[in-house]
Amino acid sequence: MQQFNNIGILGGTFDPIHYGHIVAAECVRDALQLDRIIFIPAARPPHKTPGEILDSQHRLEMVKLAVKDNPYFVVSELEINRSGLSYTVDTIAVFQQKCPQTKIFFIIGVDALLLINTWKDYERLASMCSFAVVTRPGYQLNRDSEAFRDIPPEVLNKIHLLQVPGLYISSSHIRQRVGRGQTIKYLLPPAIEDYIREHDLYQEEEYSYD
């Protein structure tokens, strides 16, 4: 792999990828002057029930469509090709080993950060990367807030809190809207909307969304 000074890694289920992910990735890249943003779709995310997630090949295809027009964006199939659960710590370890000179920023929304003390080996993870934490509508977090108290100090020391344009978009909401026959235009790139229609994805979904 090409050696860069610094990269951002955005892991997610991407079921499907949407403008919330893409805008966050681009704003972090710009703010931290990163050389590349690597999108890594999880094969089997530990926090989600397997039956509830769309086949990884469809999710991967949609991420590929989303990154196509940004030369800084790339997709990694590392987690998709790995067996077992998709733990971030294992993924970051691979990048660190391959590119020991590259500074790694793991991009994470505030909602995910609040759960980080449930992640596998989060202390080791924090020793290998920094965290570019992006704001997300619906989740309050700043360094003075109570929620910050539950974040382990190892992680806290490595956090860059970045304000990004707030997009109240989530994959769950998109799946629900498709299932109900509601429009998803302007929530994700048109090519992904077309992909969802062509493959009849998310037809059965009925989520409670609040």
With respect to ligand ATP, which residue has the nearer C-beta, 100 or 178? Answer: 178
Site for ligand ATP in 103-132 (CB under 6 A): 108-109, 111-112
Q: Does residue 67 interact with ligand ATP by CB under 6 A?
A: no
Q: Does residue 73 interact with ligand ATP by CB under 6 A?
A: no
The span of 10-18, 62-70, 74-82, 89-97 binding ligand ATP (CB under 6 A) equals: 10-18
d(CA 137, CA 48): 21
Range list of H helices, the chain:
19-32, 56-67, 88-98, 110-113, 122-128, 153-156, 171-179, 190-198
Q: Which two tokens stand for residue 85?
A: 């659960």
Q: How many residues bind ligand ATP (CB under 6 A)?
A: 18
With respect to ligand ATP, which residue has the nearer C-beta, 47 or 68? Answer: 47
Q: Does residue 13 interact with ligand ATP by CB under 6 A?
A: yes
Least separation, in Å, of the C-beta of 139 and ligand ATP? Answer: 8
The span of 16-24, 80-88, 147-155, 189-197 binding ligand ATP (CB under 6 A) equals: 16-24
Residues 83, 108: contact at Cβ < 8 Å?
Answer: no
Site for ligand ATP in 159-178 (CB under 6 A): 167, 169-172
Cα-based angle 27, 29, 31 (whole degrees, multiple of 5): 65
Q: Which two tokens stand for residue 117?
A: 């003390």
Q: Does residue 12 interact with ligand ATP by CB under 6 A?
A: yes
Q: Does residue 86 interact with ligand ATP by CB under 6 A?
A: no
Q: How far is CA 147 from CA 33, 115, 120, 140, in A?
A: 29, 10, 20, 8
Residues 177, 184: contact at Cβ < 8 Å?
Answer: yes
Interacting residues with ligand ATP (CB under 6 A): 12-15, 20-21, 24, 108-109, 111-112, 134, 136, 167, 169-172
